[in-house]
């Protein structure tokens, strides 16, 4: 196993995950500016010129803000399905970009990495998650989803590392000073995943091969890091699983780096 994973940042302010083999590096989403993405990559010793491609999960701005700059100035190739491309280009003033088009359910390759896109339920044109494979190692990334489907479980079950949304604590969201229509959207099957639902699926799919789980897209107002970690920890202990490392992500800084089962700061 020789894949590296680092969540450069994850929240409603921006989402971007770095996945790399010894020969090929990609980003899943580009929700920060081109400059900020390059800065965060440099902090983990990576030059943007060494990144081959960006694979886009969906068109929301916290996943796409840096696409144009990274594509034009960094010469990074862009991969998305036609629905996501339509969503990106529908925004007022959006640049016309050169896209590589994939279909959910149809794997494709970037260098020595195999990318498996799969459909997820979220309020976007055609949102997907990804499983990135290389050298016998699998990394699953699914950061925005309102519910966990059988397909999502199937795709994540063989993974050695998972980046998964733990957006909100249900009680904190219910009591938050937010408009009811926004709460309804988040709670819906096209919205965002709660700590409890994230914990349930992680515990369900955690086999001996799963090494690390990154909890992503935590809400500032409707979640607390300790609540998210506690929910997952209790669910894993309830299943008798003690070997999985639970890692937090942040909007302000990159996560710890995982490589082949070892975590380095």
For 81, phi and psi rounded to 5 degrees? -85, 170
Joined together, the tokens standing for residue 234 give 């209790």
- CA nearest to 87, candidates 127, 54, 117, 121: 127
pTM of this structure: 0.94
Percent of the chain having pLDDT more than 90? 86
User: Is 196 among the domain residues?
Assistant: yes
Helix H or strand E encompassing 203: helix 195-205
The model's pLDDT over 200-217, given as tens digits with 9 standing for 90+, comes to 999 999 999 999 999 999
Of the chain, the end-to-end C-alpha distance in Å amounts to 19
Per-residue pLDDT averaged across 39-50, rounded? 97
The residue range of the domain holding 115 is: 4-256
| pLDDT given at position 247 | 98
Comparing 3-12, 84-93, 107-116, 125-134, the range with the smallest average pLDDT is: 84-93
For residue 261, pLDDT beyond 80: no
Q: Can you give the CATH number for the domain in which 188 is found?
A: 3.60.15.10
The structure tokens 């699953």 sit at 140
Residue 92 binned pLDDT confidence (cut-offs 50, 70, 90): low
| Contact yes or no for 70/50 (Cβ under 8 A) | no
Residue 1 binned pLDDT confidence (cut-offs 50, 70, 90): very low
| pLDDT given at position 96 | 85
- CA nearest to 78, candidates 104, 46, 110, 107: 110
Q: Looking at per-residue confidence, does 178 or 94 come out higher?
A: 178
User: Is 38 among the domain residues?
Assistant: yes
Q: What gap in Å lies between CA 68 and CA 49, rounded to an integer? A: 15
Residue 218 binned pLDDT confidence (cut-offs 50, 70, 90): very high
Per-residue pLDDT averaged across 211-226, rounded? 96
| Contact yes or no for 35/69 (Cβ under 8 A) | yes
Q: What is the average pLDDT score of the chain?
A: 94
Q: What secondary structure does DSSP assign to 227-261, as a single string?
A: HHHHHHHHHHHHTT---PEEEE--SSS---EEETT
Comparing 75-79, 112-116, 168-172, 257-261, the range with the smallest average pLDDT is: 257-261
The model's pLDDT over 106-144, given as tens digits with 9 standing for 90+, comes to 999 999 999 999 999 999 999 999 999 998 899 999 999
Number of domains within the chain: 1
Q: What gap in Å lies between CA 155 and CA 74, rounded to an integer? A: 31
Q: What gap in Å lies between CA 137 and CA 160, rounded to an integer? A: 6
Q: What does the angle CA 74 – CA 79 – CA 85 come to, to the nearest 5 degrees?
A: 105
User: Is 265 among the domain residues?
Assistant: no
Residues 151-175: b if buried by 16+ CB within 10 A, e if exposed: ebeebbbebbbbbbbbbbbeebbee
For residue 83, pLDDT beyond 50: yes
For residue 189, pLDDT beyond 90: no
Residue 184 binned pLDDT confidence (cut-offs 50, 70, 90): confident
User: Is 261 among the domain residues?
Assistant: no
User: Is 143 among the domain residues?
Assistant: yes
User: Is 262 among the domain residues?
Assistant: no
Q: What gap in Å lies between CA 47 and CA 37, rounded to an integer? A: 10
| Contact yes or no for 79/112 (Cβ under 8 A) | no
| Contact yes or no for 162/156 (Cβ under 8 A) | yes
Percent of the chain having pLDDT more than 70? 97
């Amino acid at each position: 196993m020789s894949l590296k994973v680092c969540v450069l940042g994850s929240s409603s302010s921006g989402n971007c995950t770095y996945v790399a083999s010894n020969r090929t590096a990609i980003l899943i989403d580009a929700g920060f500016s081109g400059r900020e993405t390059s800065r965060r990559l440099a902090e983990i010793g990576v030059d943007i010129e060494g990144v081959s491609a960006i694979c886009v999960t969906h068109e929301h701005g916290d996943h796409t803000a840096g696409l144009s700059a990274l594509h034009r100035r960094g010469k990074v190739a862009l991969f998305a399905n036609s629905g996501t491309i339509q969503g990106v280009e529908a925004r007022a003033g959006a640049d016309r970009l050169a896209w590589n088009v994939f279909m959910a359910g149809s794997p494709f390759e970037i260098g020595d990495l195999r990318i498996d896109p799969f459909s997820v339920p979220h309020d976007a044109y055609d949102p997907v998650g990804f499983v990135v494979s290389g050298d016998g190692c699998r990394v699953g990334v699914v950061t925005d989803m309102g519910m966990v489907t059988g397909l999502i479980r199937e795709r994540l079950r063989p993974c050695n590392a998972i980046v998964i949304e733990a957006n909100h604590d249900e009680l904190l969201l219910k009591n938050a000073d937010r408009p009811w229509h926004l709460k309804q959207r988040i709670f819906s099957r096209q919205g965002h995943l709660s700590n409890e639902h994230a914990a349930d699926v992680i515990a369900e799919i955690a086999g001996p091969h799963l090494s690390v789980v990154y909890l992503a897209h935590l809400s500032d107002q409707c979640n607390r890091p300790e609540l998210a970690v506690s929910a997952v920890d209790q669910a894993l202990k309830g299943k008798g699983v003690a070997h999985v490392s639970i890692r937090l992500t942040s909007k302000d800084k990159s996560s710890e780096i995982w490589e082949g089962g070892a975590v380095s700061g």
